[in-house]
A and B are shown apart, each in its own frame.
Chain A
């Protein structure tokens, strides 16, 4: 598997685990894994993916500090955009 395929595989694994656990379960200690993906994406020059993943990390930080965030529409939208990215890259 080449690095790009590797990254995509890790991305879909991450997405699937979130789908199983629930977005609301994400905590600060989920960030390192996400940051690893961001670094790989940066190395491979996948700018769009970097942007999407970075936003995801921001949302997680935000939610952790403000769990009463009323309608995490953007967060959810971002998650599905990552899923869309994964699909299109396949």
Chain B
């Protein structure tokens, strides 16, 4: 380790304006300089304990050492104060500390206290041979060292043309060299201080829209433009913890890593795989997997007819274990199987063996897939560890496009609002839902449609879905669901006509010969896992041809002609809750007369289920709005 003197000088030289402003703030820096300009002076004394005592003329006392975090001051300020800055800046101007000696305590006390010396560079003031030798060695080291500050004339050093000036690009020890670590350092070294949760959050943020600006100064600053955060990396300090972040909250480590990774990305480095490897914390084969697979084997071999009812208890235990091992997808599958089995044992009319077969199949095959040689990220996706994590995004602009009511077999009811992000070309959802399998809870769709959204009391779902909104610091998850927690603020924007929006992949290719065949061959992957693999589409419709109720299929059909001239059939499934509304749809002249509008529909590859019709700034949610 270099002598304290050298380290201290290196430190003081490193306290450039750029660094100090980013570490503290501009105001503090300017005030410190002003005070010096107004005549404050500092007297420096070695303490012999790797610190220099600085007595300011306003009677504040600062202890300077080679680490800014460990500098102290006797004023009440908790963090870096103006006085510490003054001690540093004054030294930069006057160079009073110099190539001084690490004086012994006794000698130091005598020489220092007595002299209140302005110049401490003369080692001969010290008594004791050891100290003297040490001082000599220090001086020798200093002059021998490549460190420029000891040798060059201070005023010359600041000259930008001086090759010794670090900011001069011609300086071989220039910006790019000092910061080569940012691209050259192996990622695992840099990630060592991070928790899995933090890495997951960074991975999530890397998937968001963001651009960076790189500012070269004595520090290399990466500005995350949309987030509005600056992260400044220090020369030759390959440590993320040493980077300065303009945001000083507990999110700072996240921003530091995000900034570094985006910088590396810009330099052509793809860290995704390494990041994923560090992110996921699954032990290779959690025991719950083996046990669940074993149970499924037994169930299939024995057959439902001969299954003991105790199997539901085993499923319950496994579901709880799955949850605790961070595998929500497996937990859901297990509970789904358990639920269906309970219907079976009760000889309940709602039992459907096909559903049980499919759930068992999904569970069994996903467990098999887990045991293959798949990457950490795929394991995590199988496990479903993302779904419950929500992250705040600085800004999100959304355009409401439709809302629909729904009910699941497992006894949940809800209303889902769909909102479009033009910037990301992606649909987000906001869902209000409640389990209704308890007798005491009900979910009345009409009433819930008028209930307020999470972020504003007077704003109903109905009003929300037909608006255009700018969100700040709202929480979303990887499935692009908005959190129902109250975090975030929203501001209404004037609603632009739907025709001015580009719905990208949600619009079917207008060149396709037939929209129907295009739909079927579309990216509707035959889905192995997950029921109801449905895709949302925004279709351009020319007119409504007819509306009728089909008694055979018990569905309400709206026949439309698309702008491309093709006939399509929209299907609304019958449901006791919405029967009246469906009758109103069937009788509605307003719908019949619609021309040149957009339709938000869901499709499973065979049928189109309409959610809403949109025209200019207006919206009609077929199952929820008044007709």
* A interface, CB within 8 angstroms of B: 12, 15-16, 18-25, 72-73, 76-77, 79-81, 83-84, 87-89
Contacts and interface: CB of A to CB of B under 8 A. Distances in A.
Contacts of B356: 19
A24 B358 contact: no
Given A19-B360, A22-B302, 6 more contacts: A12-B357, A18-B303, A20-B305, A20-B353, A22-B305, A84-B361
Interface string B332-368: 0000000000000000000001101110110011001
B303 A25 contact: yes
Given A84-B365, A88-B526, A20 B303 contact: yes
Contacts of A20: 303-305, 353
B528 A22 contact: no
Contact of B300 (A19, A81, A89): A19
A58 B506 CA distance: 46
Contacts of B306: 22
B527 interface: yes
A73 B293 CA distance: 10
B49 to A, nearest CB: 69
B357 A16 contact: yes
B297 interface: yes
A77 B371 CA distance: 13
B268 to A, nearest CB: 39
A84 B301 contact: no
10 A-B pairs closest in CB distance: A22-B303, A88-B526, A83-B361, A24-B301, A21-B303, A80-B361, A16-B353, A80-B364, A22-B302, A23-B301
Contacts of A83: 357-358, 360-361
Given A20-B303, A22-B306, A88 B527 contact: yes
29 contacts: A12-B354, A12-B357, A16-B353, A16-B354, A16-B357, A19-B356, A20-B305, A22-B301, A22-B303, A22-B305, A22-B306, A23-B300, A24-B303, A25-B303, A73-B297, A76-B296, A77-B364, A80-B365, A81-B365, A83-B360, A83-B361, A84-B365, A87-B358, A87-B361, A87-B527, A87-B528, A88-B526, A88-B528, A89-B526
Nearest to B356: A19
Contacts of B361: 80, 83-84, 87
Interface string B298-312: 001111111000000
A83 to B, nearest CB: 4
A81 B368 CA distance: 11
A36 B528 CA distance: 26
Contacts of B354: 12, 16
- Which of B297, B300, B306, B356 gathers the greatest number of chain A CB atoms within 10 Å? B300
B304 A19 contact: yes
Contacts of B303: 18-25
A52 to B, nearest CB: 13
Given A19-B356, A20-B304, A76 B297 contact: yes
B299 to A, nearest CB: 9
- Which of B301, B360, B361 gathers the greatest number of chain A CB atoms within 10 Å? B361
A87 to B, nearest CB: 6
